[in-house]
Amino acid sequence: MTAPLQNTTLSMVCMSSATPPLLPIAQSERIAILDILRGCALLGILLMNIECFVGPLDAGTTGIDPQLTGMDRIADALIYVLIQGKFYTLFSLLFGMGFAVMSKRAADVGRAFMPFYLRRSLGLLTIGLIHAVLIWSGDILVLYALMSVPLLTSRRLCTAALPLTGVLLYLIPVALMSIYCWADFIVSTSSNSENIKSWQEVLAQNGTETAQVIREQRHAYGAGSYVQATVQRLHDVKNGLESLIINGVHVLGMFLLGTWFVRSGAILQPERYTRLFAWLRWGAWPLGLTAMLLSVHLASWQDVTRVDPRAFSAFALSMIAGLLMCLGYLAWGIRAAFALTWAAPAGRMALSNYLLQSMVCTLIFYGYGLGFFERLPRVWQLPFAIALFTFQVALSRWWLQRFRFGPCEWLWRSFTYLRWEPLRVASTAR
């Protein structure tokens, strides 16, 4: 072999063995069903969150408000039974799927995944904190960012272990509620009057503190200035972080289930898992609905100003129902994907649209905005949410015809990959 030929061959070998860079997912590589499901989950999240925009955050999503009547009560019941606790759970499931897709891509190109992923988590945490403190304290992004770190350990788990581990983590809050109800029963039936009195004092104190928080939220968000609302949001974030372990394991469990759907191939090749998805549609969803109706029968509303073991039991049952119905919605979404493609543009810009929902709603309902706090009837909150989401779908479609990513996705990706990503569609050529 001549020297020039040797040099040429060596160059080709070096080029082929060089590790290719880990780049953002191109449009041609996107998994369409994930965008469709994200879009549907965004609508469900808005339908659930809307009452927390219209009124005090801690007074929302507590069941069917007994003070409502007529169409307002029907609307509240429909959201509680069919939506609440099902679609943010689906969103968590999809987050886990996204993690698994990125992990696989990094492995395929031989790139170190952890530095890239930790930057991504840090970027999401930053966005979440800005959102929670400056816009709306009902934020879920901070929790996602924090739980995305222990999610890394799932790469060491075999695929078969993911579903059971995920379900067990998801059920930890249910187990804690059951332990609490058992403890309440033991103390309440105790012959020791001092124990009963001490327990009742603890419950009363918790109820008093919660009622005070709701009063503070009502004043800050309904009649306060932006500065007052921001101070209240800081308090809300602090209180939310105190319950991080309970909420965190629940979310982490859904992350693991989502990871399984990708690693097993179920979400990428659903035709290989027809029996699974058929059972989720015709078994899990009806079973979850039945459990949800039993929960409503047990206690349709939880008074957050007092601790009621019966309501706690009902809420624990509703969490089990939420998991089953979430998986059922996933299966039905895959089955009806052809009819749901209209939601895909919103799903491609899920982060931007989630933040936009908060900005629009707080500016309309909060006192420093238009001031419609606690003034929109429950029945009208649903068409408002649907109209807002319809606008978001149209806006997303318009935006994605001109740009590769949503604005927040672009900032997040640029931070993650340590370079400014080309934003305009015309600049995608490399």
Q: What pLDDT digit, counting tens, does each position of 79-108 carry?
A: 999 999 999 999 999 999 999 999 988 888
Distance CA 375, CA 51 (A): 11
Q: Encoding tokens for residue 90?
A: 């689906």
Looking at the structure of the chain, the number of domains it has is 1
Contacts of 343 (CB under 8 A, 6+ apart): 35, 36, 39, 40, 42, 43, 393
The pLDDT value given to residue 84 = 96
The dihedrals phi and psi of 240, each to the nearest 5 degrees, come to: -65, -40
Contacts of 197 (CB under 8 A, 6+ apart): none
**Is residue 427 included in any domain, yes or no?**
no
**Is residue 171 included in any domain, yes or no?**
yes
Distance CA 381, CA 387 (A): 10
Distance CA 144, CA 251 (A): 8
> What is the pTM assigned to this prediction?
0.90
Following CA atoms 394, 396, 397, 400 in sequence, which dihedral angle do they give, to the nearest 10 degrees? 160
Q: Helical H runs in 189-273?
A: 193-222, 226-242, 244-263
**Is residue 54 included in any domain, yes or no?**
yes
Distance CA 411, CA 403 (A): 13
**Is residue 114 included in any domain, yes or no?**
yes
**Is residue 17 included in any domain, yes or no?**
no
Structural domain of 346: 27-420
Q: What pLDDT digit, counting tens, does each position of 5-64 carry?
A: 344 333 333 333 344 555 555 554 568 999 999 999 999 999 999 999 999 999 998 899
Residue keyed to tokens 């993911």 = 162
Distance CA 173, CA 347 (A): 29
**Is residue 310 included in any domain, yes or no?**
yes
Q: What secondary structure letter does DSSP report for 301?
A: B
Query: What spatial distance separates the first Cα and last Cα of the chain, rounded to whole Å?
Result: 35
Three-state secondary-structure class, residue 63: strand
**Is residue 220 included in any domain, yes or no?**
yes
Q: Which residues in the chain come in under a pLDDT of 50?
A: 1-19, 28, 427-430
The pLDDT value given to residue 30 = 66
* Ramachandran area for residue 110 (φ above 0: left; ψ -120 to 50: alpha; else beta): left
Please state, as a whole number, how many other Cβ atoms lie within 10 Å of the Cβ of residue 59. Answer: 20
Distance CA 82, CA 292 (A): 9
* Ramachandran area for residue 370 (φ above 0: left; ψ -120 to 50: alpha; else beta): alpha
**Is residue 365 included in any domain, yes or no?**
yes
Distance CA 235, CA 373 (A): 20
Residue keyed to tokens 């953002």 = 24
> With contact defined as beta carbons under 8 Å apart, do 366 and 222 qualify?
yes
